[in-house]
Structure 1
Amino acid sequence: MKTKYSIWEVFKFQIKGILEANKSFIFYIFIIYAFSAGILNVVTVLFPRYIIDAIVVQNINDLFLWIFIYGFSILVLMLLSTISQNIFSGNATAIKFLQARIFFKKYRHVSYRYLEDPTFQAKRSTALWASLGNNDSGYEGTLRSLFRLFPQILTVIGLTILLGLFRPIIVIVALLLSLLQYQFDLRGKKYKFEHRDELNELERKANYFFLTGHDFSFGKDIRINQIQEQFFANHKEKSNIFTSLFKKLNVMGFRFSIPGMFFITITNGLTYFLTANAYMSGEISIGEVSSIIWATLAITLGMQRMFTEIAKIKEDTSYTSEYMAFLENDDYFPKREGIEIELETLAIELVNVSFKYPNSDKFALKNISLKINSGDRLALVGINGSGKTTLVKLLCGFYEPTEGTILINGVDIKTIDLEYYRNKLAVIFQDVLVYAASILENIVGLSKDPIEHEKAMQALKLAGLYEKTKSFPKEEHQELLKVINPSGTDFSGGEKQKLSIARALYKEDTSLIILDEPTASLDAIAEKEIYDNFKTLINNRTALIISHRLASTRFCDNIVLFENGEILEYGTHESLMNKEKGTYRSMFLTQGKYYQKGALQNETI
């Protein structure tokens, strides 16, 4: 696995990106801008010489001729450079956004275990935002620096010829001092690059408190629990630390730029001295004095800008190199080419499965052995943190067992194509996510197939959300959330859960359905409707149901009671209730007594 790429490898990567974006014409824009902007700098320095000399000798014809040539040249070159610059600017950003979309597509396949890893998130933030998060740094920054570099090279070449014919020593001094300043620039860029991880991590933490404080979904809790001041204080603390480091980096950058001011003064002083001597000895005209002085200033600044851009390109390609290394990390994006097996029906067997989360020494599951036949309905119960949801994550292929084997229809899950396998799963997660899209798009995605549309509407009916959907002016095309569209609707917790159930019902060609607290946010009537349609919801599929409402287990063939990552009890509802000192029996009776008439009268409140 490669962790660092050379400048030329980064250039090759970016050229590939330009071609993939169908922006090959941008190379011609580079050439047009380089020549128009470069020649413009030379013309601006050279032509005033002839105008001044015409004024001195009072030659009106030559004066108007040179003014016309100078003005026309400036006009044409400025038009070319401005137009090409505008065309390039928009397309450079478009190329970067294409690369961001490529990253987005790749990120969908990141190994799930890293999504909950803060170290990975810090690396992701550094790789992504340092390269793609700014118009003038990283991926796009390299393009823009190259775009600015070529005109400077042409300017320096043209003016070097002009000054070299007059006094070569000026060119030599300017070049040596510019190279010296380049070394200072490199040291400044290196210092900034060495602190990039620390800076990005501080910004990520500060942004968490800033964005969370503005997040609508946290609004009620923040206000009721009066934690606005806490969020403000935390954001202030993190942003102050970030600002302090940012200022320190800027100060260091300024220190490394100071020598350049002295180098320009030295070069200009030498030029003024040699030019004055040449004029007083009659070697050059007053117009040539003007051209030489302006040429010296232009070539000095041009060289410094040229080497500054080169130093910046080196810095930006370092960021893009990190981004490339991140994308090519096989550990983050495992290239798993599994097999496709018959999954019309689905049976599961766990053989001595143990699991602990990354960066943890504690096992969340311990030596689990369990067999679930095709079409079985199994309830997973237990207190919070007992291992139920962890088991679901393993069955969804989000994690691999630390020890033991999970068999799907007798085949090790590690050898099965994950995307193919997940297409056979319908999962209702406890934490329901609603996307800023229409109700229909939240179920079918981008499909425009009328058959899929009808299937989605049927799913909404069975989930109990059809009438609500039809009550909107735009019906199933009503947008959800106000993040993108101000007229979007915010569903209640129960409505979100119904939407999640509709998604599972829509995915009717699946073989395994997993329901993690499917009715937790529903009222009693809505919950009854779901259970009344339970047979339709399951539809002969293998089913796993996680619920703290133990009454829901009556729909299941068997029940597994988890405790501290282990299977404590297993059996049917009747068999577990027959255990006089059984934990399941105790939990069921404890929960059930609150629904019995008069039960609360004997409780001390």
Structure 2
Amino acid sequence: MLNKFFGGIKDIWFCTKYFAKFAWKHLPIYYLYILMSVIISTAGPFVSIIGSKYLINEIVYEQNRNMNMIIFWVAFICIGTYIHVVGNKFANEKQNYCNDQFDRMLHMEISSNTMKMKFEYTENSEMLDSINKAGRAFEQTNLIQGLTDGIVGLLSNILVLAGVIYIVVKCSVWLIIPVLLSFVVNTYITMKTTKIKEQYFSEAMEMDRVVDYYIDELTTGEYAKDIRIYHSDDMIIDNQKKQSNGIYNLSKKSEMKIWNKDKAAVTTTEVCDIVVYIILGINTLTEKITVGDFSSLVQAILKFTEALNGISRGLLELKYTASVLKYYIDYIEQAEIDRKYEESKNAVVPNINNGVSIEFKNVSFKYPNTDVYILKNINTIIHSGEHLSIVGKNGAGKTTFIKLLCRLYEVTEGEILVNGVNINHIEYSKYLDLLSVVFQDYKLMAFSIKDNIDMGQNKYPDVENKINELCEIVEIDSWINSLKDKQNTNLYKMFDESGIEPSGGQAQKLAIVRALYKDSPIVVLDEPTAALDPIAEFEVYNNFDKLVGGKTAVYISHRLSSCRFCDRIIVFDGGTIIEDGSHDKLMENQKGFYYNMYNTQAKHYQN
């Protein structure tokens, strides 16, 4: 029991320290508003407790009545109450403003870290669960606001308790007994209700939830590759800032269970209050205390009870809040560890003035937490300016080869070299600048056509003209120009009711324009045409090959449309390279895999 208690205190301190640093870094004036809240919340109750005592005594006892003192105490209560109400409102509004800013910043931190974390985490169930828990921490606690409210309430109640004890004990120590009984019962019930909340949070983690588009759509594996290749995280964060106007609502499913527990607490409190009234009534009738004392002590006892229960409830709620907030902190700190690890590497800038050559040297790979090798002992060089076709059956390892090329995963064994430099020694963003990729599962986002192509890069002085030029080459310009807002037309209806739904062919061409727009020395097409018929696929590959020109181009397909116009073909099977050469050379081996695969496909088309 004590271990749990002190563990909870440790969690509260850990979370408070973390978010206190965050608040001080971004909005240090927040501490002034917190101090105001503590002072006002503490002083407020004593205005009524003290003022009512002297005011009632002045009114009730005629022999000592003094009109000036009556006016003074009325003014004291009115002005004090006004300052308390207005001051509280002012401090709360200022805190709410700061909390809104903090919420947006912390949401941005989750999104930014999710888009920049290692790609392998986007396919890791434990990390995805961690991201979900970090997001749910907002919903369950309001993060800094929830923590601050708990701490302010706790401090205020401790200070109020100290003052009220002094007032009550001066009258009768016996008044403390029913209050302490109420406190014990309420503490026990609060512990039970806190456990209900923790249990609900734990169960809710296992449920599928519809969450924010940016967190659960743009930051998942479906979009992660495009986001990294095109450095679009800043653009997405900017758009998220515009769209993020609020926070998630607190779940209400556990309210009934909590209310059933609270009824017992309310009953106990009421019984104890009756006992207090009886004791005070007897003391008043026997003239041990004045009527003013009676009024003051009733209020003091109520505040005493409220403060005790507030301290108990505050500690338990802070413990619960801290237990939830740890999910957020753990995720952010893990992302920070990964970032510092990347920064600690000695960045090398390879010389690419004479082209880019990429070598796979004894490369083997298996996915994290698995024992099966997807690629085994891969040795090949992609020469600068070469047009290379990578073919093989589905599951042969082609797409995994591209993931390693794009540095979405690190090799398990061996190394990948760019002009002789290990790619892990090259700054990550600089390495990605070398690649333009149209992935098999490419994604267009619910932004404008222009933003889907530019992806926040702003590479050219006149972005619209450059996009028009490329769209004309890819033969999609007539469709875009027919739209009312042209390049500024939004895709899909996620945020715009007038958004348009591009056809499969139109979407594919936009993805190709995006790759060409990036203007990287290496261009990769990873089976983006898999859903097309063979003739349409051949036309796309043929046109794309002309557009690429002298750049290095890599085509991935289980069909052989790209092979005839490529300089070299690599054939994958079972995670290894089994054949390597030009189309004509590979066709000379009539017992070879490529020869049989090519003729099998050609036979279907001829028939």
TM-score, normalised to structure 2's length? 0.82
Aligned to 1:119: 126
Cα 1:197–1:127 change in 2 (3 A) is farther
SS in 2 for 1:289: helix
1:438–1:476 contact (8 Å) kept in structure 2: yes
Aligned to 2:28: 24
Alignment partners' CA distance in 2, 1:410 and 1:179: 72
- Opposite residue 463 of structure 1, the aligned amino acid is V
Alignment partners' CA distance in 1, 2:397 and 2:535: 30
1:288 aligns with 2:293: yes
Aligned to 1:380: 390
Aligned to 1:276: 281
Alignment partners' CA distance in 2, 1:162 and 1:72: 22
Alignment partners' CA distance in 2, 1:114 and 1:283: 73
1:163 aligns with 2:171: no
- Opposite residue 596 of structure 2, the aligned amino acid is S
Alignment partners' CA distance in 2, 1:373 and 1:537: 19
1:406 is aligned, of 416, 419, 442, to 416
2:99–2:144 contact (8 Å) kept in structure 1: no
CA distances 1:345-390 after superposition (whole Å, capped 9, x unpaired)? 2222222222121232322112222222222221111121111001
1:414 CA displacement: 2.6
Alignment partners' CA distance in 2, 1:404 and 1:447: 33
Aligned to 2:475: 464
Aligned to 1:238: none
- Opposite residue 41 of structure 2, the aligned amino acid is A
1:140 aligns with 2:145: yes
1:12 aligns with 2:17: yes
Alignment partners' CA distance in 2, 1:246 and 1:84: 28
Cα 1:174–1:30 change in 2 (3 A) is same
1:437 CA displacement: 1.5
2:522–2:551 contact (8 Å) kept in structure 1: yes
Alignment partners' CA distance in 1, 2:199 and 2:370: 29
SS in 2 for 1:367: strand
1:187 CA displacement: 6.3
1:463–1:530 contact (8 Å) kept in structure 2: no
1:312 aligns with 2:322: no
- Opposite residue 394 of structure 1, the aligned amino acid is L
- Opposite residue 143 of structure 1, the aligned amino acid is T
1:316 CA displacement: 1.5
CA distances 1:408-427 after superposition (whole Å, capped 9, x unpaired)? 22222232222210111111
Alignment partners' CA distance in 2, 1:407 and 1:195: 50
Aligned to 1:554: 564
Aligned to 2:51: 47
- Opposite residue 323 of structure 2, the aligned amino acid is S
Cα 1:525–1:364 change in 2 (3 A) is closer
Deviates more, 1:154-163 or 1:55-64: 55-64
SS in 2 for 1:431: coil
2:350–2:421 contact (8 Å) kept in structure 1: no
Alignment partners' CA distance in 2, 1:469 and 1:192: 52
The two structures, once aligned, show a CA RMSD in angstroms of: 3.4
1:432 is aligned, of 428, 439, 442, to 442
- Opposite residue 429 of structure 1, the aligned amino acid is F
Structure 1 unaligned residues grouped into runs of 5+: 218-244, 600-605
2:568–2:581 contact (8 Å) kept in structure 1: yes
Aligned to 2:329: 324
1:95 aligns with 2:95: no
Alignment partners' CA distance in 2, 1:582 and 1:297: 91
1:478–1:489 contact (8 Å) kept in structure 2: yes
1:308 CA displacement: 1.1
1:464–1:529 contact (8 Å) kept in structure 2: no
2:58–2:70 contact (8 Å) kept in structure 1: yes
CA distances 1:543-578 after superposition (whole Å, capped 9, x unpaired)? 210123412211211112222212232221112222
Alignment partners' CA distance in 1, 2:118 and 2:339: 6
1:279–1:285 contact (8 Å) kept in structure 2: yes
Aligned to 1:355: 365
Note the 1:516-527 alignment, pairs <5 A.
516-520=526-530
Note the 1:167-566 alignment, pairs <5 A.
167-171=172-176, 174=179, 178=183, 181-182=186-187, 185-186=190-191, 189=194, 192-193=197-198, 196-204=201-209, 260-261=265-266, 264-265=269-270, 267-329=272-334, 335-336=341-342, 337-342=345-350, 344=352, 345-446=355-456, 450-508=461-519, 510-520=520-530, 530-531=540-541, 533-566=543-576
Alignment partners' CA distance in 2, 1:450 and 1:481: 28
1:34–1:154 contact (8 Å) kept in structure 2: no
Cα 1:459–1:44 change in 2 (3 A) is farther
- Opposite residue 372 of structure 2, the aligned amino acid is K
1:497–1:521 contact (8 Å) kept in structure 2: no
2:103–2:143 contact (8 Å) kept in structure 1: no
1:184–1:256 contact (8 Å) kept in structure 2: yes
Aligned to 1:38: 42
SS in 2 for 1:108: helix
CA distances 1:166-206 after superposition (whole Å, capped 9, x unpaired)? 22453476468636754664565367546744431224599
CA distances 1:387-407 after superposition (whole Å, capped 9, x unpaired)? 100111111111112222222
1:304 CA displacement: 0.6
TM-score, normalised to structure 1's length? 0.82
1:517–1:545 contact (8 Å) kept in structure 2: yes
Aligned to 1:78: 85
Alignment partners' CA distance in 2, 1:307 and 1:256: 15
Identity of aligned residues (%): 29
Alignment partners' CA distance in 1, 2:555 and 2:111: 32
SS in 2 for 1:370: strand
1:116 CA displacement: 0.9
Structure 2 unaligned residues grouped into runs of 5+: 1-6, 223-250
CA distances 1:323-362 after superposition (whole Å, capped 9, x unpaired)? 2222222676562234233252222222222212123232
Alignment partners' CA distance in 1, 2:125 and 2:501: 30
Alignment partners' CA distance in 1, 2:405 and 2:371: 22
Cα 1:355–1:33 change in 2 (3 A) is same
